[in-house]
Structure 1
Amino acid sequence: MTESAYRVETTARLAQWRIDNLASCTYRKSDPFKIGNWNWHLSLEKNRVLYVKLYPEISNLTRDNPPIASFIIRVVCSAGDRKAFTHPEIKDKQLKSNEDFVWPIEVPLTGKFIIDVEFLDLKTASPNDGEPCSIWAEGLTQKQSNATALACLGRMLTQSIHTDIIINASNGSIGAHRAVLSARSPVFHSMFSHNLQEKELSTINISDMSIEACQALLCYIYGNIKHEEFLAHRLALLRAADKYDISDLKEACHESLLEDIDTKNVLERLQNAALYQLPKLKSSCMRYLVRFGKIYDIRDDFNAFLLCAERELITDIFHEVLNTWKGF
């Protein structure tokens, strides 16, 4: 049997396997063919019934990210009037092994025929248990490009690739890139655009941040911060975002600090809300203290807080108390 007997012809989404002759009690498996991100096989097993199988080649990619396929498969007789047998459309079926799609054809086939597979869509599972994503979806190339660019940007930081500025934190130093910092912060941009000390000495002194918090700030700027790292340094990141005018980071900290207010942190967050002009956080903290009565659970701490708080903030708290009393 010639090599062409196992070859599958393909276009971007179509695969055809031409069978010249298939004897009884026969098993035949095609050469691998590439559709989408995966190599595929077709196989035939003929006894009393002809079984047609479609499956991805076993690989790390298939194990870790098996395809979720939508396709139409047909068997077309080459001779005469080209009679065709069509399987009902397969929709969003995950294929991992050669047992995941098996089509038994009980009609006897003789002579030459073609197995024709038209791939309608191929999807991969979302890493966050979201909806599967089509590899052919509009914008996927852009998403992949953005992800690759972010990964490279992250490596520039973690591997200190061509760094040209040193940031001195309170307990250590780390290298960074002027261009990246300038693009993310108008304050950094101004530092490097004028003849300031930072430009001349190629250093930035951030003595009010630990090296760990500074690392978290840079990871956010470079697009590769981990969620746990962000949570651990939210207040330091908020201060830095306000100081260096990184508005998206400030808003991210603002939204995050709203999510886990409790009696241990509410006074500190109220103080920061007033200091950095975070209206939603300020309102939420005051409601938590006054409307939900948590002020009584931390009475001593609250009294100490009033002794050092700004007069305007104290006034706002008492307005909240009065408004709450009016509601009863």
Structure 2
Amino acid sequence: MSDSAYRVETTSRLAQWKIENFASCTYRKSDPFKIGNWNWHLSVEKNRILSIKLYPEISNLTREQPPIASFIIRVLCSVGDRKALVHPGITDKPLKNNDDFVWMIGTPLTGKFIIDVEFLDLKAASPTGDEPYSIWGQGFIQKELNAAAIATLGRMLSESIHRDITINASDGSIGAHRAVLAARSPVFFSMFSHDLKEKELSTVNIPDMSIEVGQAFLSYIYGNIQHDQFFPHRLALLRAADKYDISDLKEACHESLLEDIDNKNVLERLHNASLYQLPKLERSCMRYLVKFGKIFDIQDDFNSFLQWADRELIAEIFHEILATWKGF
């Protein structure tokens, strides 16, 4: 039996195991696959009924910080018709060993089928004893900046200490400091270094940005953005990062947008990945749609997408479809 029989394909939050032929087996265990901080296994056992297990690989990390998982698991019985058996779903369940999640299926399965696991969240125990925290919702920015510098810059913004520039958003204004903006963005640096109206009037007009996004944008620039500011405005912040050439913000948005691709956002993510030249996001969206077969689940949305999407991007999608189907 080929190694591919045990391989699980993954994106950041999705795992799929294709079972080509299980008729002659009573038990099969997948190769390890990585989701979040942990390596995982799926197993299938056929006795009187079929049982499917999902569990983390035993390690020091698993013993010290066992994953607390929320996920949806499905069995897709055929790719074309997408007939599926769907588990009711798991929310915040600690998984330590191979008996913590067992799905007993009474319906007999014949021929090829796919086990599809979509992780909605993964939490780990806090080292300080606080409530478990989501590994996909942490303040990744603060980890890379000095706490004292963050606090100082944050006070400059929140307390309007010696502000000397005004940002006019579409529905409000925010005070800021031209030196900080110029240090973080070559576009702002150029504005304030030449005799442009922004330098003369001490204002920057950004009519395509809301005040909420503007506040999140400045909070990032000043190093004290919070997750609840960043997360809902990632696409708007991506546009601002591209416009003002702030590469680390663009990459932060890129990495975050990789983490929660789903049926509702994959086409918008794919469009923005192409527009802003985000290759990892584009590849992940393509794999989600084509390799994982999710394009079948959103056919109406995909047909609408074809009416307005970039022609080169559409050509890439169909090239991916042909390449995938050729190898199936």
Taking structure 1 as the reference length, the TM-score comes to: 0.56
**2:311 maps to amino acid:** R
Question: What is the CA-CA distance between 1:210 and the residue it aligns to?
Answer: 0.5
Instruction: Report the equivalent of 2:86.
Output: none
Alignment partners' CA distance in 2, 1:180 and 1:212: 20
Equivalent in the alignment of 2:272:
272
Partner Cα separation in structure 2 for residue 126 and residue 201 of structure 1: 51
The residue number in structure 2 matching 1:195 is 195
| SS of residue matched to 1:302 | helix
| TM-superposition CA deviations, 1:94-142 (whole Å, max 9, x none) | xxxxxxxxxxxxxxxxxxxxxxxxxxxxxx9699999xxxxxxxxxxxx
Which aligned pairs between 1:126-137 and structure 2 lie closer than 5 A? none
User: How far is the alpha carbon of 1:174 from its aligned partner?
Assistant: 0.2
Distance 1:183 1:235, change over 3 A: same
Q: Secondary structure at the match of 2:209?
A: coil
Deviation per CA, 1:71-106: give whole Å up to 9, x if none: xxxxxxxxxxxxxxxxxxxxxxxxxxxxxxxxxxxx
Q: Which amino acid aligns with 1:211?
A: I
Unaligned runs of 5+ in 2: 1-126, 134-142
State the shift of 1:312 in Å.
0.6
Identity level (%): 76
Counterpart amino acid of residue 148 in structure 2: T
Question: What CA distance in whole angstroms lies between the structure 2 residues aligned with 1:290 and 1:147?
Answer: 43
Equivalence for 2:302: 302
Deviation at 1:326, TM superposition (A): 1.7
Structure 1 residues 129, 296: closer, same or farther in 2, change over 3 A?
Answer: closer
In the alignment, the residues of structure 2 paired with residue 127 and residue 184 of structure 1 have an alpha-carbon distance, to the nearest angstrom, of 35
CA RMSD of aligned residues (A): 2.1
What residue is the counterpart of 1:146 in the other structure? 146
The change in CA–CA distance for 1:289 and 1:222 in structure 2 (over 3 A counts) is same
- Tell me what 1:285 maps to: 285
Once the two structures are TM-superposed, the CA of residue 181 in structure 1 deviates from its matched residue by 0.2
The residue number in structure 1 matching 2:218 is 218
What CA deviation, in whole Å up to 9, does each residue of 1:178-200 have, x standing for no partner?
00000000000000000111101
Q: Which runs of 5+ in 1 are unaligned?
A: 1-123, 131-142
Q: 1:300 deviation in Å?
A: 0.9
Q: Distance between the aligned counterparts of 1:232 and 1:159, measured in 2?
A: 24
Distance in 2 between residues matched to 1:166 and 1:128, nearest whole Å = 40
For 1:297 and 1:149, locate their aligned partners in 2 and report how far apart those are by CA, in whole Å: 47
1:157 maps to which residue?
157
Residue 227 in structure 1 maps to residue 266 in structure 2: no
Question: SS at 1:175's partner residue?
Answer: strand
Could you tell me how far 1:327 is from its partner in structure 2?
1.5
Give SS of 2:146's match: helix
How far the C-alpha of 1:315 sits from its partner, in A, is 0.7
Change (3 A) 1:260 1:125: closer
**Count of residue correspondences:** 192
In structure 2, relative to structure 1, the CA distance for the partners of 1:202 and 1:126 (3 Å cut) is farther
The residue type equivalent to 1:304 in the other structure is S
Residue 146 of structure 1: how far off its partner (Å): 3.2
2:67 match: none
**In 2 relative to 1, CA 129–263 (structure 1 residues): closer, same or farther, beyond 3 Å?**
closer
Report the equivalent of 1:178: 178
Deviation at 1:166, TM superposition (A): 0.3
1:258 and 2:246 correspond: no
Task: Name segments (4+ residues, structure 1) moved above 4 Å.
Answer: 124-130
Higher relative contact order (CA 8 A, sep 6+): 2
Distance 2:264 2:169 in 1: 28
Which residue identity lines up with residue 218 of structure 2 in the other structure? L
Seen in structure 2, the aligned counterparts of structure 1 residues 287 and 218 have a Cα distance that, compared at 3 Å, is same
Q: Equivalences for 1:1-328 in 2 at 5 Å?
A: 146-328=146-328
Is the partner of 1:322 in helix, strand or coil?
helix
SS across alignment from 1:318:
helix
Query: 1-side partners of 2:185 and 2:129: how far apart?
Result: 32
Distance in 1, matches of 2:159 and 2:278, equals 36
Amino acid across the alignment from 1:158 = S
Quote how far apart the aligned CAs of 1:149 are.
2.1
Q: Distance in 2 between matches of 1:260 and 1:200?
A: 43
